[in-house]
Chain A
Amino acid sequence: MPYIGKSPVTGNYNSLDDISGSFNSSTTTFNLLVNSGTALTPVRAEALIISINGVIQEPTTDFTVSAATITFTTAPASTDTFFGVVLGQQLDVAVPSDGTVSTAKIADGAVTMAKLGETVTVAKGGTGATTAAAGFTALASTQATVGDGSAAAPAITSSTASADSGIYFPAADTIGMVSGGTEQFRFGSNPIPGSRKNLVTNGNFDIWQRGTSFSTGTEYTADAWRWIGTAGSGAVSRQTFTVGQTDVPGNPTYYWRATVGTGDVAVVLLTSIEGVGHGAGVPVTVSLWAKASETTGWLDGDSGPTLVQRYGTGGSTATRVQLDGTFQSQSITTSWQKFVATATPGSISGKTVGAGNFLELYLQTDADLASSATLDIAQVQIEYGSVATSFDAGGDIGTILNKCYRYYERLTPNTATNQAIFQAYNVTSTVASGIFNYTHKRVAPTLTFTAGATFEVRHQTTTAVCTAAALSGSSDEDRCLCNFTVSSGLTGGQGCVIRRNDTDTTYIEVSAELQ
């Protein structure tokens, strides 16, 4: 009988073939057939309507089904009539068309890791592509693969509105952090010690404990920066950037300037990084900004810009690697330019490393600057990896100053009259001694006093100008004993104060420099 109304889309309604011809009052099991001989396997007995002699048989009571057979409880007689109908049949559910299963059709939490597989590939972020999805934590025991990306199009970004800021993977075992399309920082297989990006202590030339102008040659200038020259070869001075200038990014305050004395000489500047192991066997990148009053260049060869591994007292012979990159391909002009070179200092495996070992950055220009020409240098950085990232001064001024103190410290009383330096006591009628505490030094430091007459001893109501100031005994990393000698007038065993003689420049230098 046809369906009334709209036919079901799925289902399997049919009449069973007549099996009454096999009834014989003894056989109870018969094959179930439809469509004149096609075997039928019903889902269950209740799926069949079976009539014997017009009497509807009760499923599972009057008959059961097994596979494609039906078994009657009582064997039908040869005279019995039969008809049967199958009401429904198991069938395959239709395969959904491509792209038709929506998110709403999937229950929350129904997609398990087993369904995802062991590797999940996330589309690369960046312009015009989907950004990496959140939820990586759900993949704890498996692997998430993200495209490498680039500094301009990071692999992982937070939103399409910031498609040029995020994370990318510039090399094996390396993660780069990008902001505004520029790599700002990277973690590599050689982690930055103590999260220290710039290995140079005073690369921003912020600290100048020794003064702001120099003319002796072969002397420290800005802290950690040693100028190599000869007397009369020129001068070095601290220069101040114009506030808000944009030639050198990051609003640095100062830069280093050498003014050539006699013409046709090179400018040589170096700094030392404590520990010869820094950068050993792995790429490091040196970057700095420079300009000159006339066009010149960096010297080519081993005497030009190099990284020198110095192995300390009794250590192996120094080794050096030249800085090429734009140091050699780019002239120093009258405009600020960034110079970049990547080099790999040698491995220190098998080397003998002695006390006072360090990595040196050695910079030397061509010897062609005319008399009174100037060379300016700013923002020097040495960092791990093969890319010059944005400059990092190494912390705030206080942090950098304390780093500088490890190598050099100058105790300078201010210019106020009779400014006290430290407390002391009178050892005898002519000698006062005081303990000078300073910031912990790399090694027991060298002490240098200005002339004895620049100090005075204040004892009760007596003031005596010193005739000598000297280190008593040795020094250690944290303190030393100083002797101040006067001609007479002190009382042994009583306290006193060592002061600045207000007619002189007075200071005490504490130096534990690496060279």
Chain B
Amino acid sequence: MMKYFKHMLDGVVANYQPEGSNTFIPPVPGNTDYNNMIAEIEGGYLTNGDSVAAGTSTIEEVDDTPE
């Protein structure tokens, strides 16, 4: 199971970061990584056509807004 950190900035979703990586995914439909992440969380199809069950990945919200 993959966990994504959902980075929030000033109350807006900034990006998603797969745990343990230095990768940052913009919250933009059409971005392959974003679409696959949503499929892993909600269930559906990956961009390569493979089906994936809901809950395959989870999200943990992180607020990056400077204090």
- Chain A residues near B (Cβ < 8 Å): 308, 310, 312-313, 318, 355-356, 442-452, 469-476, 511-515
Q: Given that A356-B32, A446-B31, A514-B32 are contacting pairs, would A469 and B22 also be in contact in the complex, using a CB cutoff of 8 Å?
A: yes
Query: Which A residues touch B1, using CB under 8 A?
Result: none
Query: Which B residues touch A515, using CB under 8 A?
Result: 32, 46-48
Contact B30 A313 (CB under 8 A): yes
| Docked complex Cα distance between A474 and B15 (Å) | 6
Query: Which B residues touch A356, using CB under 8 A?
Result: 29-32, 35, 47
Contact B49 A318 (CB under 8 A): yes
Q: Given that A470-B22, A471-B24, A474-B14 are contacting pairs, would A446 and B49 also be in contact in the complex, using a CB cutoff of 8 Å?
A: no
Of A355, A442, A448, A514, the contact of B22 (CB 8 Å cutoff) = A448
- Chain B residues near A (Cβ < 8 Å): 9, 13-15, 17, 21-35, 46-49
| Docked complex Cα distance between A444 and B34 (Å) | 10
Q: Select from chain A the residue with minimum beta-carbon distance to B22.
A: A449
Q: Given that A308-B49, A356-B32, A356-B47 are contacting pairs, would A448 and B21 also be in contact in the complex, using a CB cutoff of 8 Å?
A: yes
| Docked complex Cα distance between A447 and B48 (Å) | 21
| Docked complex Cα distance between A470 and B26 (Å) | 12
Query: Which A residues touch B34, using CB under 8 A?
Result: 446
Query: Which A residues touch B25, using CB under 8 A?
Result: 446
Contact A447 B24 (CB under 8 A): yes
Q: Given that A308-B49, A446-B23, A449-B22 are contacting pairs, would A471 and B15 also be in contact in the complex, using a CB cutoff of 8 Å?
A: yes
* Given pairs A313-B35, A449-B23, A451-B22, 5 additional interface contacts (CB within 8 A): A356-B30, A356-B47, A449-B22, A473-B15, A511-B32
Contact B26 A450 (CB under 8 A): no
Contact A470 B47 (CB under 8 A): no
Query: Which B residues touch A512, using CB under 8 A?
Result: 31-32
Q: Select from chain A the residue with minimum beta-carbon distance to B34.
A: A446
| Docked complex Cα distance between A308 and B50 (Å) | 13
Query: Which B residues touch A448, using CB under 8 A?
Result: 21-24
| Docked complex Cα distance between A470 and B17 (Å) | 10
Contact A443 B31 (CB under 8 A): yes
Of B22, B32, B46, the contact of A450 (CB 8 Å cutoff) = B22
Query: Which A residues touch B47, using CB under 8 A?
Result: 310, 356, 514-515
Query: Which B residues touch A446, using CB under 8 A?
Result: 23-26, 31-34
